[in-house]
């Protein structure tokens, strides 16, 4: 199950967290999963940031940008812990 990466940032809160917890509870290291997932999300996060910072960005674009920033920050912090 570690090989299946998520395509949507919405999947992070539930599915990715469950995967990380399961790996940790089995005594494993989730670093490879986190690195791969961050790489998969990088272009999505970059696009959300650009869209959210556009002069004509609406509230939805700004929300998505903030959510993308939160996901990226979480993944970065988790990787620093390992």
pLDDT tens, residue by residue, 16-37: 899 999 999 999 999 999 999 9
Residue 1 clears pLDDT 80, i.e. is over it: no
Nearest-angstrom CA–CA distance, 63 and 69: 10
pLDDT of residue 3: 65
Nearest-angstrom CA–CA distance, 64 and 8: 11
SS3 helix, strand, coil % of the chain, rounded to 5?
75, 0, 25
Q: What angle do CA 2, 14, 8 make, to 5 degrees?
A: 75
Mean pLDDT across 49-57: 98
Q: Which residue has the higher pLDDT, 9 or 54?
A: 54
pLDDT of residue 5: 73
């Amino acid at each position: 199950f570690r090989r299946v990466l998520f395509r949507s940032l919405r999947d992070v809160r539930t599915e990715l967290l469950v995967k990380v917890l399961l790996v940790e509870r089995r005594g494993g290291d989730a670093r490879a999963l986190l690195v791969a997932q961050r790489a998969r999300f990088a272009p999505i996060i970059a696009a959300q940031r650009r869209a959210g910072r556009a002069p004509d960005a609406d509230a939805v674009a700004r929300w998505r940008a903030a959510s993308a920033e939160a996901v990226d920050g979480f993944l970065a912090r988790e990787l620093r812990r390992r």
